[in-house]
Chain A
Amino acid sequence: MYFHTQEAIKAIILLLFSGFIFMLHHTGEIIKFINPQYTAFSQIASVIFLFLFFIQVPRIFISKEQAEDHDYCTILGCNHEVGSARKVPLKSVLIYSIVLFPLVTGFLLPYKDLGAAEAVKRGICYTPNEQHLHHSEELVTSNKVFHEMMESPVLILNNLNFSVYVNNILTYPEFFDGKPLVLEGFILVGDDHPFLARFLVTHCVADAHVTGLLLSSDDNNLRNANDWVKVYGLVDTIENNGQVLPIIQVKEWKQIDQPKIPYVYP
């Protein structure tokens, strides 16, 4: 019986990956990394890692017969370096430390939610994704969410409808003039007006980008970047470089703690 150190290291790494992803799901911290809609993928990955671990474990040991029989080389790969089985060459040490790196930082370091500092780096966009110069009724009637928004007396924005609602308000600001709405987000300080922002996460936080609406308020306390606030206000419009932009006339606001799920999803 021979013991293969390298194969053992591989087995442990596979188990750690499985355990790491399992732990993220178990503690719910997975939402700090990916859109909850896609969690099934990483759950499957966790199970596959565990499965690969069980595939890997028997490779840690080779019996004497196997070590001498070269017949299986072609299919299982050669494992005959029995003389050096216990030694791990420097190059492999480097490789395994690279693979272990995310596990070490993942297990030990605290995770950070993206905030105002990252938002400024990534650029902010106040304008709609689509520019309809002629807001024909036809186009508007085909939009289901738009109808839903027009019919509800107060727009209450949550994690799931935030980006759709904000996008509609940005695209058709004049239709929502005077509409009351309630929304939460963190403050970014722009040139004239503060900006109420959320990070929109499509897949994972690496593709997060900022979405949100401008705020109009006399209260200077509403200008502290990175503060989380809940705002009640009315939709209004302003002109900026010949473009009509929606802006929220703040009626009431209060400071809140950062919500459990800081991101919004499309």
Chain B
Amino acid sequence: MIRRIEQNLAEITGFIILASVFYLVVVNERWTVKTIVLPESLLAFNTIFLSILIEAVPFVLIGVFIAGLIQVFVTEEHIKKLIPKNRIMAVGMSCMLGALFPACECGIVPIVRKLVYKGVPIFAGVGFLLTGPLINPIVIASTYMAFGQDIRIALLRMGLGLLIAIVIAAIISLLFKGNQLKKSASLLELDQSTYRFPLLLRIRAMFIHSVDEFFDVAKYLIIGAMLAAFVQTYVSTNTLIGMGEGIIYSTAIMMGLAYLLSLCSEADAFIGASFRHVFPETSLLGFLIYGPMLDLKNTIMMLAVFKLRFVVFLMIIITLSVFGVLMFVHPWI
């Protein structure tokens, strides 16, 4: 029996696809669970959870494709040639490169993982990880729109964000050696150069790596989205806001909110702007800069890639740097 199934698998899978498409086109209505009455809030949770996933998935797919591309086509020699020997130069370059590279915070994790694996120093990887989602044309445009066509906040967000990212990458370069990656079996096998294989096989290998990468990332993305949706459904922002006053409190609250809500950096400016009447600009900048660098969703994803100790230190460093720099520049804002 199993043998027969194996022989006709192509036909069987083809049939499954046809049947499912046919079902969707003809039935055109979902069969939903109606017998069990679920609480409204749980359904709202599910809707928000799915919407975070649907929003993130296209960008994650781009991320895993680029990761696959790096895996198969970029060698360690390329990286060695490209990254400057000088540490300060390397930090600056990685942050600038991240600024030019349009990515979102969930799509960039697999890319950074592959880059670090291929020999990019960890501090340069972190610089890229921080500026990639924070500084790019889409984010500038949406921030500009959200704050009533006021370029000031958008510029402050980019400028301070870049400064803070450089500070963090510099601190990392002093504190951490080695690549800080988790040991992963699938990566260790692939040390050798892939250049001796024909191009077609390498392209196929790239897609296969993308599939594996997707499954690696997807589980963490899903857990992260679940936590973020949970916070959004069950935690009221009003109680968070009511917790205290003063610049230190309000900045800390906005940063905490940015962390918990885990919004995509392209959309968070609109949420940030809605707090404009409650908090000073410094606190809003805390929300706008901290969110893309670190949030619940991407913490889970980073835990999948880097060692626990490194992730914890990175979180502390990011939090202190963002907070410290903002408090320092507050009198001038």
Residues of A within 8 A of B (CB): 1, 3, 10-11, 13-15, 17, 19, 21-24, 26-27, 29-30, 32-34, 38, 41-42, 44-45, 48-49, 51-52, 55-57, 59-61, 72-78, 95, 98-99, 101-102, 105-114, 117-118, 120-123, 125, 127-131, 167, 171, 200, 202-207, 209, 266
The 10 lowest CB-CB distance pairs between A and B, nearest first, are A130-B148, A203-B267, A33-B51, A112-B43, A204-B55, A41-B58, A204-B51, A45-B58, A207-B267, A202-B267
From B16, B30, B207, B215, contact of A23 by CB (8 A) = B30
Within 8 A of A (CB), among B249-282: 261, 263-264, 266-268, 270-271, 273-274, 276-277
B50 to A207, Cβ gap below 8 A? no
**CA distance in complex: A105, B32 (Å):** 9
Interface contact A77-B190, CB-CB below 8 Å: yes
Is the Cβ of B41 less than 8 Å from the Cβ of A117?
Answer: yes
Say what secondary structure dominates the interface of chain B.
Answer: helix
User: How far apart are B74's CB and chain A's nearest CB, in angstroms?
Assistant: 14
Residues in A neighbouring B235, C-beta threshold 8 A = 121
CB distance A121 to B236 under 8 Å? Answer: yes
Q: Mark B32-71, 1 if CB is under 8 A from A, else 0.
A: 1110001011011011111111110111010000000000
B9 x A203 contact (CB < 8 A): no
Q: Are B55 and A203 in contact, CB atoms less than 8 angstroms apart?
A: yes
CB distance from A42 to the nearest CB of B (A): 6
Task: Give Cα A205–Cα B20 distance, bound, in whole angstroms.
Answer: 28
- Interface pair B55/A27, CB less than 8 Å apart: no
Binds A, one of B89-97, B166-174, B197-205, B310-318: B197-205
Flag if A42 contacts B58 (CB, 8 Å).
yes
A48 and B213 alpha carbons, distance in the complex (Å): 14
Contact: B270 with A98, CB < 8 Å? no
By the criterion CB–CB under 8 Å, are B44 and A76 in contact?
no
Measured between alpha carbons, how far is A78 from B25 in the docked complex, in Å?
39
Q: Which residues of B contact A1 (CB under 8 A)?
A: 6
Task: List chain B residues, Cβ under 8 A from A42.
Answer: 54, 57-58
Cα of A10 to Cα of B219 in the assembled complex, Å: 12
| Number of inter-chain CB pairs below 8 Å | 217
B106-140 vs A, CB cutoff 8 Å, 1 = contact: the mask equals: 00000000000000000000000000000000000
B30 touches A27 (CB 8 A): yes
Interface of A is mostly: helix
- Which residues of the partner chain A approach B103 to less than 8 Å between Cβ atoms? none
User: Closest CB of chain A to B143's CB: distance in Å?
Assistant: 12
Q: Quote the shortest CB–CB distance from A103 to chain B (angstroms).
A: 10
Q: Show 23 residue pairs from A and B whose CB-CB distance is below 8 angstroms, ordered by the A residue.
A: A14-B211, A14-B214, A15-B17, A27-B30, A45-B57, A74-B194, A76-B208, A77-B186, A102-B222, A105-B49, A117-B44, A123-B236, A129-B148, A200-B270, A204-B51, A204-B54, A204-B264, A205-B47, A205-B48, A206-B228, A207-B267, A207-B268, A209-B270
- Is B236 in contact with A120, judged by CB distance below 8 angstroms? yes
Chain B residues touching A, range: 35 or more
| Highest count of chain B CB atoms <10 Å: which of A22, A51, A75, A78 | A75
In contact, A129 and B276 (Cβ under 8 angstroms): yes
A75 CB, min distance to chain B CBs, angstroms: 5
Contact B2 A204 (CB under 8 A): no
Chain A residues with CB under 8 Å of B189's CB are 73-74, 77-78
User: How far apart are the CA atoms of A204 and B50 in the complex, in Å?
Assistant: 10
B209 at the interface (CB under 8 A from A): yes
User: With A203-B266, A207-B271 given, is the CB distance from A55 to B51 under 8 Å?
Assistant: no
Knowing A24-B54, A52-B211, say if A206 contacts B274 (CB, 8 Å): no
Q: Would you call B219 and A102 a contact (CB within 8 A)?
A: no
Please determine whether A59 and B208 come into contact, CB atoms closer than 8 angstroms. Answer: yes
Is B229 interfacial (CB-CB < 8 Å)? yes
Which of B25, B51, B146 has most A Cβ within 10 Å?
B51
Known A-B contacts A1-B6, A112-B40; the reply to A75 vs B222 at CB < 8 A is: no
| A22-B24, A75-B202, A204-B52 known; A266 vs B270 contact (CB < 8 Å) | yes
A41–B207 Cα distance when bound, in Å, is 19
A131 — which chain B residues lie within 8 A by C-beta?
277
**Closest chain A residue, CB of each to CB of B186:** A77
Asked if A203 and B47 make an inter-chain contact with CB atoms under 8 angstroms apart, the answer reads no
B193 to chain A, nearest CB (A): 8
The answer for the CA separation of A253 and B142 in the assembled complex, in Å, is 35
Contact status B24-A26, CB under 8 Å: yes
Does B29 belong to the interface (CB within 8 Å)? Answer: yes
User: Which listed residue (A30, A57, A99) contacts B218, Cβ 8 A?
Assistant: A99
